[in-house]
């Protein structure tokens, strides 16, 4: 009985290593068996690090879920510059995670030549103060005994392996590419079942709830540096020290979010935040190292893509899943602009152009808000009852904070 037990555990462990759901062992991907890896929410740091370490990329994509879903590391623009890219972005994580990932790459001798890092206004909102001195960067995650127990010799590991086999022939699996890109294919049947409108509406209500939980400020009241600004400054400084080119991307929020921000009294603060992101880039730029800031959040044909009507389950948008998360098609437009210098979408923000651009950008949003439309009606419906009081309250708190 004991021998049978040991043999069963050993076979189970070998099976889990061969299938390798997390991709941490580097087992060859076999079509029809384990080539498509499931999107899993555990050991994310380890899974991404092991894949990046083996690839040793010369270009990196960093950020939160917007970058993970939107930026394809296999975009032809990387190859045009003789670069091999990996998408390190992890949903719901601050820029301090990107900083540690950058250091892990450098420590492993995989110093990237080019970085694309997405910055999110809502991560800076509230401005909790940074720790002084900043916390030490932890060592890169490794496969230790506890990891082996959880991924190889456990029911969870076996379940993940069986799920990996099951999704090999699925039409729209929740998966992660070998280079860290999440195409969000599992949302295609979600749209077919519920429609884009339901996704936009649900996310909009969640956003309003999250915004009102935070103080309307981007810097702490005591004049110190916030957690996110400290992380951004450290990331840009260390990248510049490494001689790495950095493209800072302000995400292409759908116009619904821009209008919601205006109604919530955050429009001016958003403009101030953009200027401060540029200031951080200018402050850390050294020598000939390029640090560029790109703003893709402006009002454009892409960011005003019409939201389908309630109950419409036939229309699949070209650029957005919902207002905060853009599709690969729009991410490709962004990478076209940054890597291939194709004009059109987005704005390169510089010291010389920032003031004029912020005025023009804000005017586009206020003009859009002044014209009756289905989008305006939808945004207004998100502020029922005491919404005007809530909006005024937020705006007043913001003004007191600024003064």
| C-alpha span between 248 and 235 (Å, rounded) | 11
The CA–CA distances, whole Å, from 159 to 34, 116, 144, 155, 358 equal: 14, 35, 20, 6, 51
Looking up tokens 């510089």 gives 350
Question: Among 274, 249, 244, which Cα is nearest to 101's?
Answer: 244
pLDDT tens for each residue of the chain, 403 residues long: 999 989 989 999 999 999 999 999 999 999 999 999 999 989 999 999 999 999 999 999 999 999 999 999 999 999 999 999 999 999 999 999 999 999 999 999 999 999 999 999 999 999 999 998 889 999 999 999 999 999 999 999 999 999 999 999 999 999 999 999 999 999 999 999 999 999 999 999 999 999 999 999 999 999 899 999 999 999 999 999 999 999 999 999 999 999 999 999 999 999 999 999 999 999 887 777 899 999 999 999 999 999 999 999 999 999 999 999 999 999 999 999 999 999 889 999 999 999 999 999 999 999 999 999 999 999 999 997 644 444 444 344 444 444 3
Please state the separation of Cα 268 from the chain's center in Å: 23
Enter the DSSP assignment of 157.
H
Q: How far apart are the first and last CA of the chain?
A: 76
Task: List residues bridging with 117 in a β-sheet.
Answer: 62, 248
Residue ranges of alpha helices (H) inside 142-250 are 145-151, 155-166, 187-194, 196-212, 227-241
């Amino acid at each position: 009985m004991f021998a049978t037990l040991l043999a069963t555990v050993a076979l189970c462990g070998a099976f889990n290593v061969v299938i390798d759901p997390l991709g941490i062992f580097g087992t060859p991907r076999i079509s029809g068996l384990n080539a498509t890896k499931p999107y899993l929410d555990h050991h994310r740091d380890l899974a991404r690090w092991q894949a990046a370490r083996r690839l040793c990329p010369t270009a990196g994509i960093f950020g939160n879920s917007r970058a993970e879903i939107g930026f394809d590391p296999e975009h032809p623009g990387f190859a045009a510059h003789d670069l091999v890219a990996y998408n390190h972005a992890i949903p719901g994580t601050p820029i301090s995670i990107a900083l540690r990932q950058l250091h892990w790459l450098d420590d492993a001798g995989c110093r990237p030549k080019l970085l694309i890092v997405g910055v999110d206004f809502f991560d800076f909102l509230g401005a909790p103060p940074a720790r002084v001195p900043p916390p030490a960067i932890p060592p890169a995650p490794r496969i230790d005994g506890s990891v082996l127990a959880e991924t190889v010799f456990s029911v969870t590991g076996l379940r993940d392996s069986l799920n990996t086999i099951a999704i090999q022939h699925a039409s729209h699996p929740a998966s992660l590419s070998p280079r860290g890109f999440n195409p969000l294919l599992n949302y295609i049947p979600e749209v077919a079942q519920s429609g884009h409108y339901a996704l936009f509406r649900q996310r909009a209500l969640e956003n309003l709830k999250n915004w009102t939980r935070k103080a309307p400020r981007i810097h702490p009241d005591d004049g110190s540096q916030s957690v996110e600004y400290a992380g951004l400054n450290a990331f840009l400084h260390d990248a510049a020290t490494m001689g790495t080119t950095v493209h800072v991307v302000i995400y292409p929020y759908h116009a619904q979010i821009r209008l919601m921000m205006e109604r919530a009294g955050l429009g001016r603060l958003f403009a101030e935040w953009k200027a401060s992101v540029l200031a951080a880039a200018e402050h850390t730029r050294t020598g000939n190292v390029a640090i560029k800031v790109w703003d893709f959040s402006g009002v454009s044909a892409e960011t005003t893509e019409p939201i389908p009507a309630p109950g419409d389950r036939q229309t699949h948008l070209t650029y957005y899943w919902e207002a905060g998360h853009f599709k690969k098609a729009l991410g490709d437009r962004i990478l076209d602009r940054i890597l291939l210098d194709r004009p059109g979408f987005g704005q390169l923000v510089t010291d010389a152009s920032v003031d004029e651009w912020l005025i023009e950008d804000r005017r586009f949003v206020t003009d859009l808000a002044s014209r009756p439309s289905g989008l305006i009606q939808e945004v207004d419906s998100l502020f029922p009852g005491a919404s005007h009081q809530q909006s005024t309250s937020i705006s007043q708190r913001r003004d007191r904070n600024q003064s």
